[in-house]
Structure formats: structure tokens, C-alpha cells
Amino acid sequence: MDASAAGFFFPFGSPSETDTCSGATTVNAVNSTSSTLSTAVPSPPVWPLPKTSTATFPWVSLDSDTLHEWAAGYCCAVPSSHVKFSPSSKPLQLKLHVPLSESTPGDASSSADRNRKDAFTLCYQTPPEVGTLTSVDVTQTPGRTLSSSSKKEHRDVIPGRYYGGLKVWSCAVLLAEYLVNHAGEYRSLFETAAVVVELGCGQGLPGMAAMCLGARRVVFQDYNEEVLNVCTKPNVAATVCANEGLQQPRDGVDTTPLLQAKFVHGDWVDLSWESKDAASSSAGVDAFCDVILGADVTFDKDACDKLACILHRWMRPHTGIAVIGSKDYYFGTNGGYLEFKKSAEPYGLRVELLKRVDTADKMPHVLLRVTHTA
């Protein structure tokens, strides 16, 4: 991996149009809370106070007009004056089915159970070209001598500017599949959650899977506002339109609240979680996040430290949980499962291994559950 100051070349690729961790074999997970030698808990990094409140980003009701407007930009977004965008992306779909073992029994007593869907379509797209985010001037890269015709190079990640949100990374597919494959557990969790958040959402597959499983208020967060506008919003609209049952009442009575989404951009440690009512108490239903999702958000040590910080700040005390898709280790960047576990400890967070998946590329993927220890 080239880790120059101008940006990273990451060796872990995004899935192709048909790649959903193909060739994967599941290995039994081992609980990460096994006994270890007692050692002093290190202090967490000192971060500056957050600059931006999530309360400044509005909740948007996904009514028909909003869906129509956003879906019109699916794979053909119109560039804004400050975003150089090439409409070369192609529509992709991830088809997910709830296993029979996780489906509602045929003799379910409530109409709410009978109205639940067991097949979903998540809409996403091939990475659009946004040169202002992904390109760097090679003259800024030490040791490079190229011809005048080769002045720009693509980077998967450019620290402080872009963190790969235009691509769909393999852990996003894995996490979305995991949630649906364990619908028996996560449906009840999402249906009762006041707020579900996907951190570092990019194209938003896990957050959209949560919507399909019953979440009514979902926050999509990414470092770049451009990613949210070009990818996430159109994908969400296309997904809701492709799954008609999402807007229908689950109990046969029109009491199900309309789907709502919030789109938040910025660095994790610069964001503070605040409810829509600044005067609400800490016990308010939206004073914290009930469920937080994240995929490939542990790619280096800095990301691990910041992720632990934002989970500590945002996750509801005692009952909040996070489900994170990661790799065991990200070569060349020192990120991954064990690094994140070390970062989480000073914040009083418990990291449990839910599942390990060995893939054809010999880079094991893991699903993690994170909770407060007290």
C-alpha cells in the first residue's frame, strides 16, 4: 500500500457487481471476553470539543415527493457548481432474503408479524467519479516524476479529505447480509429503536437494511457531504421505492410513522449527538442512539480511536449497541479488529466477536457487537 501524505492505495478492494464476499466460509465465533491478564487500562486520546451538533441537520420525511426527487438522481446525479461529477455509475442491486429459520411462523398471531416482508432489494451503484474528492496532484507526491500528461491520480482514501465513501466496501455487504440473515433478532431491535445510525455510511447498505427490517428513523453519516448527495440519498430513495412495503403500516392500521432519514457529514470527533429538542433531558427517546452500524470503519488506528470515541458519546447508556463489520487486520494501516478492541477499552466499551468469515482473498472478515460495560 502506498501511504504517502497525498493519500492511500488500499489493497482491499470493493465488491464487484456480483461480489458479496463470494467464496466465503463461516467459522464459529469465539467470545472476545475471554479472561486475560489484569493490566492497567490506558487513557483515551484527548480530542477537541465537538464543533457541530447533529441537531443542525434536519430530519427528512421520506414522502412521495422527496422520494421522487432523490430517486431521479439515482445513477444520473446532476453535478452541482462545486462538485465535478461524471455520470458514469451504473445501478446495482443487492437481493436479500430472510432465512426460513428467521422468518415469522405461518400461524403468527398478529397482523404485524404477517405483514413483515422476507425479501428485500437494496439499491446502490458503481462508484461515481467525483474528481474533487478522489484525485490528487501527483506533483505533491514525493519521489514521483511523471510526464505532464499524467498530473492526477486516484486515491481510495485521502486523509482529511475523503474516506472512500463513493465505493461499496466488502464489509458493508457482509454487514447488510448479516442483519437480514439474523432478522429474528434485529427486526425487534430496529422496530423499537428511536434512532438507528450508520457511521461512515458511504452508499448506505447497512442503514438501508435496517430500514427494510423495521427502523423508522435512520441517520446516515459520512465524512463528505458530496457522498451523501451523490450516492446515499439517491440509493435510499431507490431502495424505498423498490420495496413498496416499507411505507405500509405493519399492523393493518395507519399508525406506522413515516420513514425519516437524517444525513450528517463531518469528522466523527467534530460531531456531538443532540436531540431535536435542545432542552430535552438525557433520558429523552432521541437523546442518544439506540443502534449504531458501521462497515470498514476500523481501517487504521486513527479511525479505531475516533470510532471508539463517537460510540462512547452517542450510544445510549446501558442499552445501546453497535454492530460493526471489519477485517481482522488492514495491511499497511494497522487497523482492524484487535486494534479497535484496544481503542475501545479506555472508553469502557465491550467488544464481542459475533462471527468470523474467511473469504477467498484470505482476508478474514468479522462482525462485532459493541456495548457499554456498565
- pLDDT tens digits, 277-313: 444 444 566 789 999 999 999 999 999 999 999 999 9
Is residue 339, in this structure, part of any structural domain at all? yes
Predicted confidence at residue 38, as pLDDT, reads 53
HSE-up (13 A, CA, CB side) for residue 278: 5
Low-confidence residues of the chain: pLDDT under 50? 1-26, 30, 32-36, 77-86, 106-109, 111, 146, 148, 277-282
Predicted confidence at residue 253, as pLDDT, reads 52
> 226: part of which helix (H) or strand (E)?
helix 225-227
Is residue 335, in this structure, part of any structural domain at all? yes
Is residue 150, in this structure, part of any structural domain at all? no
HSE-up (13 A, CA, CB side) for residue 22: 7
Is residue 314, in this structure, part of any structural domain at all? yes
User: 213 lies in which domain range?
Assistant: 52-97+119-126+166-372
Is residue 46, in this structure, part of any structural domain at all? no
Is residue 106, in this structure, part of any structural domain at all? no
We report the CATH number of the domain holding residue 239 as 3.40.50.150
Q: Which residue type, as a one-letter code, is found at position 316? A: R
How many domains are there within the chain? 1
**DSSP, residue by residue, 69-134:** HHHTTTTTPPP-TT--EE----EEEEEEE--GGGSPPTT-SSHHHHT--SEEEEEEESPPEEHHHH
Is residue 299, in this structure, part of any structural domain at all? yes
Q: Is the pTM of this model over 0.85?
A: no
Neighbours of 166 (CB within 10 A): 25
Is residue 205, in this structure, part of any structural domain at all? yes
